[in-house]
Amino acid sequence: MNTQLVTAYAVCRGIARTRAKNFYYGFLPLPKEKRNALCAVYAFMRHADDISDDASRSVPERKLALNTWLAEWHSVSQGTPTTDPVFFALADAQRRFKIPNDLLDKLVAGTAMDLEVGYQEPEYSGSVHSSATAVKTAAPYRTYTDLYQYCYYVASVVGLVCIRVYGYSNPRAEVLAEKCGVAFQLTNIIRDVKEDAQMGRLYLPEEDIQRFGLTPEQFVMNDSTPPDLARVAPLLEFEAQRARELYQAADELMPLLDHDSRPAFWVMATIYRRLLEKIAKQQYDVFKGRIRLSAPEKLAILSKGIIQSIFA
């Protein structure tokens, strides 16, 4: 491996280590070549996210920046020299693990999906200490099928890229990776209900919200008063059960992956499953504060994964 490639992968590992909260733990049990490749994929995805989330630019400007940046990647992937360390590392990973550009394009499309509806910036009223907000909260996805499609682009595609690096031969692995991605994203959606609602978006199917006799506004904090947990928790439990059913795909996917990748996937799936369990144990009270696994909890899972990798 030449010096430029070594440096490029080091940059990607640094990005993943500092910014990939749960993902990075899942990278560590992998052999070095596979770990490097996933760090490159993550760094690519992270940069796309950063462009999409850049509040200093208008939505049209962000879309243009994304398209320009993606066109640069296409050029690099076809052999154009680059000094961009993320592009340089990803091009190497793409060659090694046969990652199709179609999936990478979908990764970028997933980061841009929120721009189609767009977050609203909160408008505070009264005292500077007041948390009352004038943001109008909406549920942009009418049905679970609609939400599933969103989850596919923002999460399942990540899984489909990951299994290219993990290695598999049975095409059923792709169907199972898609389901796992949706399970991961539903877990994130439940965890982030408070923050998302405050920003004007509720990533829960509108049909489910109505079925439980609720409105999107009932998920928004009002003058530091949390939503009525007795009313909103049953809906969150309903969505959590969907995630639990989808997590069963992880058990089926595990034996289809290359032996040296199974511990890494186990770590990732276990972290997300435990997170969902922790939310459920707290009766879906995601409004007091962000529920997450502590560093010791993640390290305990990682330790088991590393032990598995030794005997893989």
pLDDT in tens, the chain (312 residues): 799 999 999 999 999 999 987 788 889 999 999 999 999 999 999 999 999 989 899 999 999 999 999 999 999 999 999 999 999 999 999 999 999 999 999 999 998 888 876 544 444 333 333 344 455 788 899 999 999 999 999 999 999 999 999 999 999 999 999 999 999 999 999 999 999 998 888 999 999 999 999 999 999 888 778 899 999 999 999 999 999 999 999 999 999 999 999 999 999 999 999 999 999 999 999 998 899 999 999 999 999 888 877 766
- Asked if 149 and 15 sit in the same domain, the reply is no
- Asked if 19 and 125 sit in the same domain, the reply is no
Q: Vertex 186, ends 251 and 292: CA angle to 5°?
A: 90
- Asked if 107 and 132 sit in the same domain, the reply is no
Strand, coil or helix: what is 232? helix
Last residue of a domain, one of 117, 146, 167: 117
- Asked if 137 and 252 sit in the same domain, the reply is yes
Whether 225 and 138 have beta carbons less than 8 Å apart is answered as no
Q: Vertex 144, ends 221 and 25: CA angle to 5°?
A: 70
The number of helices, as runs of H, and strands, as runs of E, in the chain is 14, 0
- Asked if 235 and 140 sit in the same domain, the reply is yes
- Asked if 88 and 232 sit in the same domain, the reply is no
Residue 312 and residue 295: Cα distance in Å, rounded? 25
- Asked if 251 and 300 sit in the same domain, the reply is yes
- Asked if 253 and 137 sit in the same domain, the reply is yes
pLDDT of residue 132: 42
Residue 135 and residue 113: Cα distance in Å, rounded? 20
Last residue of a domain, one of 117, 140, 165: 117
- Asked if 265 and 124 sit in the same domain, the reply is yes
Which structural domain, as residue segments, surrounds residue 272? 119-312
Whether 168 and 162 have beta carbons less than 8 Å apart is answered as no
Q: What is the pLDDT of residues 275-285, one digit of tens each?
A: 999 999 999 99
- Asked if 113 and 143 sit in the same domain, the reply is no
Could you tell me the CATH number of the domain that includes residue 98?
1.10.600.10
Helix axes 32-52, 101-117, angle to 10 degrees: 30
pLDDT of residue 170: 97
pTM, full prediction: 0.89
Strand, coil or helix: what is 30? coil
Split into its structural domains, the chain has a count of: 2
- Asked if 179 and 296 sit in the same domain, the reply is yes
How long, in residues, is the chain? 312
pLDDT of residue 310: 73
DSSP-assigned letters across all residues of 133-170:
B-PPPB----SHHHHHHHHIIIIIHHHHHHHHHH-B--
pLDDT of residue 125: 37
Residue 44 and residue 150: Cα distance in Å, rounded? 20
Comparing C-alpha atoms, which of 239, 183, 184 is closest to residue 214?
Answer: 239
Residue 257 and residue 264: Cα distance in Å, rounded? 10
pLDDT of residue 21: 77
Is the Cα dihedral 213, 141, 217, 223 positive or negative? Answer: positive
Q: Vertex 145, ends 140 and 149: CA angle to 5°?
A: 75
